[in-house]
Structure 1
Amino acid sequence: MKSFDILSPENKGMTKQNVNAKLKRCRMVYYFIFIPGALALLLSAAAMSKFFSFKSFIGTESFYSHLNPEGPNGIQNDVMVVTVQIVIQKIEEELDKLREIKQDPSLSQSVFQQGAFLADILGLLESAVASHPDSAVNNQQNGSFSFHPLVRKKKQFNEPGEYFLCEEIRKYVRVKPNRLGKQNFMGANATFTSIGHACFAMKAELEEYMNYDVGEICNDDWKLAQKLMVHGCDPLPRRRCFSRAPKLYNKPFPINESLWKLPDDRNVRWSQYRCKNFACLAGNTTRKGFFKCADCFNLTNHEVPRWVSLDADSNQTAADFLISEVLGVKPGEIRIGLDFSVGTGTFAARMREFNVTIVSATINFGAPFSEMIALRGLVPLYLTVNQRLPFFDNTLDLIHTTRFLDGWIDLVLLDFVLYDWDRVLRPGGLLWIDSFFCLKEDLYDYLQAFKMLRYKKLKWVVAPKLDKDDQEMFFSAVLEKPPRPFR
């Protein structure tokens, strides 16, 4: 039989108090759960608000109203851009930390992958900011906007790739980590590609040069590339497109014929030249070649006697030396060298007859000089006077130059050129200055520049330039580099 406990009023009061206490404890638990949850929601909302707009996060316009005075839409656009700039800064800081991390080789692969991923995201963000029509970057360039000091602590273009919008340039200059994540024998764990500093002053031309479809045929723009090189944008970036070539390229002539015979016209792209064949250049009736080499495509008459004959009809001057005379100074010692001149490779062709290998450095001044030299069976080096010679120290027996480094060149630039030539010449090597001409009043300064080398004078001639009414002078010399002790 069931029994029922009948609660007294006192027991009922105590039970009600217990229930109230339990409810209070439950409410306290709910509060402890609700308050952190609410705080988490608030923080999430604040973070999203900060990402999309400073206004909704801060709740006032006083902080950002100076960014753009032109209405709320302009403010929101610029705030968006500034926010992206903050993200860019955070990514750059993370990349800097990754560069400083020295981890075990087994873990370095993940670090490089993370760095490459962040670099790609960084490039996309910067491209979006720079291409935005109302972006803060554009406004900054127009002088109407400046970043808040807390937004970007670094200078605007900290890396070369940040300056350009063309994605091929950005990809080229970006650091390329080694796939295995290990350092090479030079202590580098990545490949660092470079472009000339003057490329930043020729942004439009360089981006035009790098505007192509990957894997397709390159534009016929070698002239644009040469313009960039001559103006100091050198070295140029590599490209991922196929260079154009003549459609009807014929097999070159055999070496015993090619040295003194005009090449086949079909082996040259003539689209960027005024002359459209070698006969036009050889005849030179319209002076369409480079003025310092107006007749150098005339192999049979003008070029054949050079450096081997001093006859009255050989176009030589009183300041010219014969190859046999120069090589006779050091019999059997001159084997390899560089000809830094404007020409079609005749000096190298003549030196080959004396068993000396010469590389000809030149660029295409209004005519296909490089193609001509190669089709003659010689080695062209496509090089401007701005570049450091691509040879190691103390390796060449001879450097020859004629009708190129003349009285137009700045004396400080000449110093840099001569010191670089000294670097690649071996001790006992010869520097052959061939018919350097300048104004008579400047002769002393130029002679002092050559004397600065402190080379031994083997030959030294100064003669008047007859076609300039005694206002210009020729200077020729053969100088020997002295031995220098290692220190």
Structure 2
Amino acid sequence: MRKPNVLMKLGSFRGVHTSIFILGTFALLISIATLSKFYSIRSLLVADAFCNYNVDLKSEGRNGSQVIRGTVQIVMEKIRKEMSDLRDLPMDSSSPASLLRHSAFLADILGLLESVQEYLPLNEGIGYWHNSEIKAVHPLLKPKQQSDEPADYFLIEEIRKYVKVKPNRLGKQNFMGANGTFNSIGHTCFSMKKELEEYMDYDVGEICNDDWKLAQKLMVHGCDPLPRRRCFSRAPQLYSRPFYINESMWKLPDNRNVRWSQYRCKNFTCLASNATHKGFFKCADCFNLTDHEMPRWIKNVDIDPITNLTADFLIPEVLDIKPGEIRIGLDFSIGTGTFAARMREFNVTLVSAIINLGAPFNEMIALRGLVPLYITINQRVPFFDNTLDLIHTTRFLDGWIDFVLLDFILYDWDRVLRPGGLLWIDSFFCAKEDMNDYLEVFKMLKYKKHKWVVVPKRDKDDREVFFSAVLEKPPRPFRR
């Protein structure tokens, strides 16, 4: 009984090899036909062949690319069918390793054909042969057209190297299905060429310039994401170990652990005393951990004496909306991580997203033992769909923000919130005449309202109001 099985395996193994050999030969013939269609050996050796070359292509080239495109499409379909047949073969018809190798080979050929197909013109003869000035010019002698490659726009070599496509070293598709790595930069980087080239002008392998402020300027103005760099970031000269976690939450960090060269204040005591009076005006007391930060979200503060209302919700009452369900989330706010510190006491893990607006907010959050996420509002938040239990925001979404931008931000937050997740809008403030327009933007989410309050903001002569809400994302079961 063993011999027939061996013969069957040998037959199927030869059949696989034969099919691959036929398809490979077919692809090779197509490649040769494609080259011979556009280049002639005689045209390179005989001077008067230029005219014949143009006449032949003028009469035959109009349909040539369509024929080639159709043929390539046929080959691609045959390869796809062969790959499907290989997957459907029983595991005992040949060795699994051999089948996997042949399938990978076909996938590589398919990827190459698909990449070549993109460069074939859809309509040959339009725009090329109608230009009388270049009809008699051989393709090799035509003036080079302006490059569309992003790398050719910049002069600094490090930028050019970064944005160029990096092909896979083995010439095969990687596990993500790509034949190379494509590094990207923000589209505004092209309009900030001078600043970006200054940022990328460094010696490879050496210490980077102290230019984080330039980097943040690029990010805030839309050159985001920034390119990676091949230099070592600067660190404080006398870095000391952080405080232990049981004391770091509510204690100002060591001043030696921050580079202060780009700030008005040169230590945490200056920041806590609000000695600069500007530079981080939305969070003037954020570094005052003892008096200002510790009571927040635990005790009621700023109660309106007339309405007896406050825009501040307490963490325990919000967590009681979904007992035990709020575990991970994002705090997109202006602050030093106090909200994340308080939520940690309730066994909730939060990432704090913030940039350094006039003060070392990211360093402060990290030195407290929390996780800072250094991103701007220009970026899509780096979380997968339907993964977070909670998104909290305060002192960030205020009356300065454009309605369309607010739409994009809210839809992105909706994307990462799981069904049943909570969106906590904390003390959003704006002018009274604008409040209804902003409320309509929040209402368009069609979230369930657990808490919803509008309170006068007393420090602006009663011209502004606070809005706070806790909203629950619906499951949307009937939408595909």
* TM-score strictly above 0.5: yes
Task: State the partner residue of 1:279.
Answer: 269
The whole-number CA distance in structure 2 between the counterparts of 1:215 and 1:317 is 58
Over the aligned positions, Cα root-mean-square deviation in angstroms equals: 3.2
The number of residue pairs the alignment matches comes to: 360
- Contact kept in structure 2, 1:229 and 1:235, CA below 8 Å: yes
Relative to 1, partners in 2 of residues 1:321 and 1:258: Cα closer, same or farther, differing over 3 Å?
same
C-alpha contact 2:332 2:354 (8 A) present in aligned 1: yes
* 1:426 pairs with 2:413: no
1:241-269 alpha-carbon deviations (Å, 9 max, x no partner): 00000111100000010000000000001
Select 1:206's aligned residue among 171, 196, 208. Answer: 196
Q: Please give the per-residue CA displacement for 1:325-364, whole angstroms capped at 9, x wherever unaligned.
A: 1001111110000000000000000000111001000000
2-structure distance, mates of 1:367, 1:458: 35
- Indicate yes or no: 2:324 matched with 1:338: no
- The alignment partner of 2:450 has SS state of strand
Aligned pair in 2 of structure 1 residues 152, 352: CA closer, same or farther (>3 Å)? farther
Deviations 1:77-101 (A, max 9, x none): xxxxxxxxxxxxxxxxxxxxxxx99
Identify if the C-alpha distance between structure 1 residues 467 and 207 changes in structure 2 by more than 3 Å, giving closer, same or farther. same
Please tell me whether the aligned partners of residues 303 and 310 of structure 2 are also in contact (alpha carbons under 8 angstroms): no
| 1:187 alignment partner AA | G
Q: Separation in 2 of the partners of 1:159 and 1:105?
A: 30
Matches within 5 A, 1:139-218: 156-218=146-208
- Quote the residue 1:119 is aligned against: none
- Work out which of the residue numbers 334, 344, 354 in structure 2 matches 1:352: 344
**How many angstroms does 1:285 deviate by?**
2.3
Paired residue for 1:449, among 422, 427, 441?
441
Where in structure 2 are there 5+ consecutive unaligned residues?
1-43, 48-72, 80-103, 116-132
Give how far 1:215 is off: 0.4
Contact 1:281/1:289, CA 8 A, preserved across alignment: no
What's the counterpart of residue 26 of structure 2? none
- DSSP-derived class of the 2:191 partner: helix
Taking structure 1 as reference, are residues 165 and 305 closer, same or farther at Cα in structure 2, changes over 3 Å only? same
Pair 454,179 (structure 1): closer, same or farther in 2 beyond 3 Å: same
Q: Which amino acid aligns with 2:243?
A: F
| Residue identity matched to 2:273 | G
What is the DSSP-based 3-state SS (H/G/I as helix, E as strand, rest coil) of the residue aligned with 2:271?
A: helix
**From 288, 298, 303, the counterpart of 1:298:** 288
1:363-409 alpha-carbon deviations (Å, 9 max, x no partner): 00000000000000000000100000000000000000001110000
Matched, 1:310 2:270: no
User: What is the one-letter code of the residue matched to 2:270?
Assistant: C
| CA deviation after TM superposition for structure 1 residue 105, in Å | 5.6
Q: Of 371, 375, 392, which aligns to 2:367? A: 375
Alignment partner of 1:474 out of 462, 466, 479: 466
Distance 1:293 1:402 in 2: 11
**Are the equivalent residues in 2 in contact too, given 1:105–1:181 (CA < 8 A)?**
no
> Judging changes above 3 Å, is the alpha-carbon distance between structure 1 residues 257 and 159 closer, same or farther for their aligned structure 2 residues?
same
Farther off after superposition, 201-210 or 280-289: 280-289
Q: How far off its partner does 1:238 sit? A: 0.2
How far residue 181 of structure 1 moved from its aligned partner, in angstroms, is 1.0
- Note the 1:227-238 alignment, pairs <5 A: 227-238=217-228
| CA displacement 1:9-63 (0-9 Å, x = unmatched) | xxxxxxxxxxxxxxxxxxxxxxxxxxxxxxx9997xxxxxxxxxxxxxxxxxxxx
How far apart are the structure 2 equivalents of 1:304 and 1:312?
Answer: 15
Equivalent pair of 1:218/1:244 in contact (CA under 8 Å) = yes
1:439 corresponds to: 431
Q: Is the contact between residue 274 and residue 288 of structure 1 (CA under 8 Å) also seen in structure 2?
A: no
Contact 1:359-1:378 within 8 A present in 2 as well: yes
Partners of 1:288 and 1:448 in 2: CA distance: 33
Moved more, 470-479 or 316-325: 316-325
**Distance in structure 1 (CA, Å) of the matches to 2:353 and 2:143:** 46
Aligned partner of 1:74 in structure 2 is none
Residues 264 and 276 in structure 2, CA contact (< 8 A), matched pair in contact too: no
Q: 1:469 to 1:190 in 2, by over 3 A?
A: same
Q: Distance in 2 between matches of 1:293 and 1:401?
A: 14
Q: Match for residue 209 of structure 2?
A: 219
Distance 2:198 2:276 in 1: 32
Name the counterpart of 1:263: 253
Query: Which amino acid counterpart does residue 437 of structure 2 have in structure 1?
Result: D
* Pair 1:419–1:311, CA change in 2 (3 A): closer
Equivalent position SS for 2:223: coil
Measure how far apart 1:317 and its partner are.
Answer: 7.5
Shift of 1:276: 0.5
Are residue 390 (structure 1) and residue 390 (structure 2) matched? Answer: no
Amino acid at match of 2:183: T
Mapped partners of 1:299, 1:348: distance in 2: 13
Which blocks of at least 5 consecutive residues in structure 1 are unaligned? 1-39, 44-99, 116-146
Q: Distance in 1 between matches of 2:271 and 2:279?
A: 6
Shift of 1:311: 4.8
Between structure 1 and structure 2, the one with the greater Rg is 1
Identical residues among aligned pairs (%): 77
Q: Distance in 1 between matches of 2:418 and 2:231?
A: 39
1:185 CA displacement: 2.6
Q: Is the 8 A contact 1:275 1:288 kept in 2?
A: no
1:312 shift after superposition = 6.2
1:401 to 375, 393, 396: 393
Q: Is the 8 A contact 2:457 2:464 kept in 1?
A: yes
Kindly provide the amino acid, as one letter, of the partner of residue 345 in structure 2. Answer: E
Q: 8 Å contact 1:462–1:475 — kept in the other structure?
A: yes
Q: Distance in 2 between matches of 1:444 and 1:148?
A: 63
Q: Can you list the C-alpha shifts for 1:75-132, whole angstroms capped at 9, x where unaligned? A: xxxxxxxxxxxxxxxxxxxxxxxxx9999969x89x99xx9xxxxxxxxxxxxxxxxx
Is residue 301–residue 310 contact of structure 2 (8 Å, CA) maintained in 1?
no
TM, length-normalised to structure 1? 0.69
For residues 289 and 278 of structure 1, do their structure 2 counterparts lie closer, same or farther at Cα, with a shift above 3 Å needed?
Answer: farther
The answer to whether the 8 Å contact 1:373/1:380 transfers is yes
